[in-house]
A and B are shown apart, each in its own frame.
Chain A
Amino acid sequence: MSENKNNGGMSRRDILKGLATVPAVGGLFYGAYVSGKKYDATREARQSILKEFNIDAGVSTPRMTYTPGAKSTGQKIRLGVIGFGIRGPQLVQASGFATRRWLENMEKMGPDNDRLKAFYEQEDLNIEYTAVCDIFTVKAEEAKDTVDNGSAHGKKGNAKVYKNWEDLVNAPDVDAVIIATPDHWHAPMSIVAAKAGKHVFVEKPMTHKIQETHELFRVIQETGVVFQVGHQHRQTDSYFKAKEIIDKGVLGPISMVLTHTNRNSPNGAWVYPIHEQASPETIDWDMFLGNAPKVPFNKDHFFRWRKYWAYGTGLNGDLMTHEFDAFNQILGMGIPKSAVCSGGVYFFKDGREVPDVMNVALEYPDKNYTFIYSATQANEYSRTNLILGHDASMEITRELIVKPDRRSTRFAEKFEKGIIKPDEPLFSYVPGSTNLDAVTTATERYFAAKGLLYTYRDGVRVDSGHLHIKEWLEAIRGNGKTSCDIVAGYEEAIAAHMATVAHKMGIKAFWNDETKEIHDQNGNVIHEIPTDSPADVGVIA
């Protein structure tokens, strides 16, 4: 027991014992300081690369801004929607009107449902649906009910139901139309609408045939209506960053672009459910057929039209276009010089004409790269889209990762000095994060790739389809331009049609940019995609 009690009852021994473990805290902070410095050094080295390439470390400026609960100002736009099958309701919902079915399903999932909340918080785009059209009466009624009663902002409507799309397009109380029909109707409707002075939002691909691609291009140019192809990827924030990085030359010379589709379900292979009320009485079959060969009423053709060349465009027009447009916006690829394509019906042998496995190579000799598209509808293995450059590769999913190439000449010195490592990302960009930074943690990346983090605007999760429609509406009001305009739509449609020509004819298809014609290797002009569609077409190519 201590004798020394004059210090408030504390001896030196008390003080020593009381503070015995404090040095450990010092040790920890010192350790943290040292490891922090190491971390900073790595970070600085990477920041210096950003600086070297003059890349803004912040989030790229998105094309369309988003403010939850806001309302678009200016002229109220009166819309008509044609086609209310699968994509139609999605587009109408992205514009602020949900089907009764969807609302009921969401409400069943509980009041705190995220998607429902996001829907109600959507910006009010200041629109009114005055007209709806679907040739299946059930869907026409659902469309009317949706736009009349499904408003996220509590508005009531009274849309007119049209049996004939041409009447809708020519209606004086329709300023603009959303076209979400089978592919073979996209161009005919867009052309008539544009000629009637109506602005057009049309699903991809914008055309089904070669000649109507040229015609639609001409009509949109002549009429000057605001035109948007429905690629909502145009609003995905990581693509803006990707473009910025590539424009600064970080990847070095690019030699290949690799894109994919992997699906593995009947739904993903376009085997959609057949409605029990479908009959020749409820469906205007002749109108469905349009310019397609006259065949008797067929429910499979009607609901699963994507399986048949007469109405759909196969993997090339339906799904390659997604990837093509995404990379066209990043790289400015344009129309390829040539296309080869092969594939076949290998899994879904259900009488379909369009292949469920498809491989496309588009050549860009002027740009020194090949665009590859490879798809299967019978396997869901996740293949990352890649842009391969001599100095670095870019992986593009929801997130963005740039990895330096081991044999890069540009980075050779930095590898040697240990400033960057060949196996580690140069930097990565996670949507929603506030920073473009190499040091995003592995777990953050994991969560982003899993889709647990979403596409963002200023930290707010948002449906890119909503932004895409908003961009179109704003352009109609005179604010800005559409991002997936007629030029982008033309390039994509021609690229898809070239691939399909190559596949169906078993040739390499070439593009003559001066005459704007597709031809074979002997210079024979191919005016149109062959209409014959042998079931074993995959064997030919």
Chain B
Amino acid sequence: MQSLKNVNYTNGQLSMLVMLRVLIGWHFLFEGLTKVSKSGWTSAGYLLDSKGWFSGIFIWMAESPGILKFIDFMNVWGLFFIGLALMIGLFSRLAAIGGMALLAMYYLSHPPLAGLEYGAPGEGTYLLVNKNLIELFALAVLFVFPTSQIIGVDRFLYISKYKRNPDPQLA
């Protein structure tokens, strides 16, 4: 986290970034939690509904029981831990990358292209840009403007790492 040394936020910037991190974390964690608590949840239907550029790959995933099991596991617990990590601010940058990867999969499996219609009804109308893509870039923003070393559990790791060389931003 050496690169963080030069990060210097105003209170307003810091508050909003932390807020954004917690909100995205909440979204991920709750999605994960509902899937964890619902035994037998599977992404099969969602994957089978894939359209656009890479639909072949996603449908293939859904049709191979072994791969589907893996995808389901990674998705459910990925959502859960990424959400938790973003909320409490632990390994937040890693979580941001993981979250971006998941969102990229959702985006690529259901790209909002002209003329494509999906089974799961969407709550808006989109062209190329949809909420998955926006959330993905919001995580990218959080990746380049990290906050968990200031507000978050990462602060403890950060302090122990730099305790011999105190950092001004911990003030």
Contact = CB atoms under 8 A, between A and B. Distances in A.
Interface of A: 1, 8-10, 14, 17-22, 24-25, 28-29, 31-32, 36, 112, 114, 433-435, 443-444, 446-447, 450, 452-453
Contacts of B52: none
B156 A14 contact: yes
B60 interface: yes
The 8 A-B pairs of least Cβ separation, nearest first, read: A447-B45, A9-B163, A18-B155, A452-B48, A443-B120, A20-B151, A25-B87, A446-B119
B95 to A, nearest CB: 13
B159 interface: yes
Nearest to A444: B45
A20 B170 CA distance: 14
Contacts of A434: 40
Size range of the chain B interface in the assembly: 35 or more
Contacts of A433: 40
Interface of B: 18, 21-22, 25-26, 29-30, 33-34, 37, 40, 44-46, 48-49, 60, 63, 84, 87-89, 119-120, 150-156, 159-160, 163, 166, 170-171
Given A9-B160, A18-B151, A21-B87, 20 more contacts: A8-B159, A9-B163, A14-B156, A17-B155, A18-B89, A18-B155, A18-B156, A19-B88, A21-B21, A21-B22, A24-B25, A24-B26, A25-B87, A28-B30, A112-B60, A435-B40, A447-B45, A447-B48, A447-B119, A452-B49
A32 B30 contact: yes
Contacts of A24: 22, 25-26, 87
Contacts of B63: 112, 114
A32 B33 contact: yes
B73 to A, nearest CB: 17
A18 B87 contact: no
29 contacts: A8-B160, A8-B163, A10-B156, A14-B170, A17-B150, A17-B151, A17-B155, A18-B151, A18-B152, A20-B151, A21-B18, A21-B88, A21-B89, A22-B87, A24-B22, A24-B25, A28-B26, A28-B30, A28-B33, A28-B87, A32-B34, A32-B37, A112-B63, A433-B40, A435-B40, A443-B46, A446-B120, A447-B119, A453-B44
B171 A1 contact: yes
A302 B45 CA distance: 43
Nearest to A27: B26
Contacts of B40: 433-435
Given A434-B40, A446-B119, A450-B119, A21 B48 contact: no
Chain B interface, DSSP helix/strand/loop, else mixed: helix
A36 to B, nearest CB: 7
Nearest to B156: A18
Contacts of A443: 45-46, 119-120
A446 B118 CA distance: 11
Contacts of B151: 17-18, 20-21
Contacts of B159: 8-10, 14
A1 B163 CA distance: 13
A18 B155 CA distance: 5
A21 B152 contact: yes
Contact of B88 (A22, A32, A452): A22
Contacts of B25: 21, 24
A24 B37 CA distance: 20
Contacts of A112: 60, 63
Contact of A19 (B37, B46, B153, B170): B153
A335 B16 CA distance: 73
B29 A25 contact: yes
B6 to A, nearest CB: 18
Contacts of B29: 25, 28
B152 A453 contact: no
B87 A453 contact: no
Interface centre among A19, A21, A28 (most CB of B within 10 A): A21
Contact of B166 (A1, A8, A32, A450): A1
A430 to B, nearest CB: 10
Nearest to B162: A9
Given A434-B40, A447-B45, A452-B49, A25 B84 contact: yes
A17 to B, nearest CB: 5
Contacts of B171: 1
Contacts of B120: 443, 446
Nearest to A117: B63
Nearest to A112: B60
Nearest to A19: B153
A447 B49 contact: yes
A528 B152 CA distance: 87
A17 B88 CA distance: 11
A509 to B, nearest CB: 45
A256 to B, nearest CB: 31
A14 B155 contact: yes
Nearest to A439: B38
Nearest to B166: A1
A8 B157 CA distance: 11
Nearest to B157: A18
Contacts of B45: 443-444, 446-447, 452-453
A10 B84 CA distance: 23
Contacts of A1: 166, 171
